[in-house]
């Protein structure tokens, strides 16, 4: 349902370079593990991650070798960029915008063909996103929700020095041993991970947060982050993201990467708060051809 009150446009538009895609599908990805348990616990209420609160279940034994953890996470993140290149998925979005009294001003759900393209620009990858609504025109909420694929890239070796990081210890994520690593943008380094492009200019947004990093492989299993300061110039006062990753295997190229499976995003625009839940499935890997125009990827057939 849509009311006359809309979430403001163009606040979450990124300075992203989008490559064009060919229509050749290299491989069909296997489905992510069943997310039913997590989905049941999701509700469209204002419940962002409490980044300043301790995480229960953290153990100081075994001891955490932070340089080794970050080195392994950097290797896995670099491999993801090198192996993945670009992909499409089905994206299911549910959202709610509410006023300060928590009265809903807008809510609903939408389904998109979601395309992501990685491009290397110097020592930093640029990530492009594009959404296509098979059954209508994408709404404002789609334009607002960008930047999810590149959040884990802060663990690239070239971007890690932008952050102060510390390891709180080991804990479990879905039964898998993981290191809990906190990160915080350094004031003496550029903020290169996250930002907004608006009619008023470009605004970088320093981040703080924490990541659950697999103890055996260095894969990012889960990430929670938020802005370190408000941006009153564009009415962005609070922003939080909680992203859960899952392994996706592209069979024909024997590539296995961890991609966002569930993402919960919380925006505070001053007069409005917005909660957006994303669920990704049916991943496909695509080839890149810079001489062609963007073509809509074919919808995956669940019964090939």
In a domain, 74, yes or no: no
Q: Is 61 among the domain residues?
A: no
CATH code: domain of residue 128 = 2.50.20
Number of domains in the chain: 1
For the chain, where are the alpha helices, taking DSSP H only? Answer: 36-40, 66-84, 140-144
Q: Minimal CA–CA distance to 191: which of 178, 175, 202, 180?
A: 202
* CA separation for the pair 220, 32 (Å, rounded): 15
pTM listed for this prediction: 0.80
Is 9 inside any structural domain? no
Highest mean pLDDT among 100-104, 142-146, 271-275: 271-275
Q: What pLDDT is recorded for position 138?
A: 62
Is the residue at 184 inside a domain?
A: yes
Pull the structure tokens for residue 126.
């640029």
pLDDT of 277 above 80: yes
Which has the closest alpha carbon to 279: 27, 96, 49, 111?
A: 111
Helix, coil or strand: residue 153: helix
Residue 71 maps to a domain: no
**Residue-wise pLDDT tens digits, 174-188:** 999 999 999 999 999
Residue 78 lies in a domain: no
For residue 277, being part of any structural domain is answered with yes
pLDDT in tens, 59-94: 999 999 999 999 999 999 988 877 766 788 999 999
Identify whether 180 is part of a domain. yes
For residue 148, what are the domain limits? 21-42+84-288
DSSP code, position 141? H
């Amino acid at each position: 349902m849509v009311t006359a009150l809309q979430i403001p446009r163009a606040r979450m538009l990124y300075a992203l370079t989008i490559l064009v895609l060919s229509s050749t599908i290299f491989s069909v990805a296997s489905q992510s593990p069943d997310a039913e348990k997590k989905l049941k616990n999701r509700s469209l209420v204002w419940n962002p991650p409490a980044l300043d609160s301790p995480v229960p279940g953290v153990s100081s034994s075994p001891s955490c070798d932070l340089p080794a953890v970050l080195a392994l996470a950097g290797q896995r993140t670099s491999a993801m960029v090198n192996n993945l290149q670009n992909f499409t998925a089905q994206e299911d979005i549910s959202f709610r915008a509410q006023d300060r009294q928590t009265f809903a001003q807008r809510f609903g759900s939408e389904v998109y063909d979601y395309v992501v393209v990685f491009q290397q620009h110097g020592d930093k990858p640029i990530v492009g996103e594009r959404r296509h609504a098979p059954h209508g025109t994408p709404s404002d909420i789609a334009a607002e929700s960008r930047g999810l694929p590149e959040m884990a890239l802060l663990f690239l070796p070239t971007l890690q020095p932008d952050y102060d990081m510390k390891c709180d210890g080991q804990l479990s994520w879905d039964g898998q041993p993981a290191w809990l690593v906190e990160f915080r943008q350094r004031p003496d380094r550029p903020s290169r991970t996250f930002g907004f492009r608006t009619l008023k200019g470009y605004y970088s947004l320093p981040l703080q947060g924490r990541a659950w990093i697999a103890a055996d492989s260095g894969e990012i299993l889960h990430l929670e982050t938020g802005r370190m300061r408000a941006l009153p110039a564009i009415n962005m006062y609070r922003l939080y993201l909680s992203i859960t990753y899952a392994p996706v295997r592209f069979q024909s190229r024997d590539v296995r990467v961890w991609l966002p499976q569930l993402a919960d995003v919380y925006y505070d625009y001053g007069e409005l708060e917005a909660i957006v839940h994303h669920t990704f499935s049916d991943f496909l890997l695509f080839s890149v051809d810079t001489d062609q125009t963007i073509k809509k990827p074919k919808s995956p057939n669940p019964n090939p």
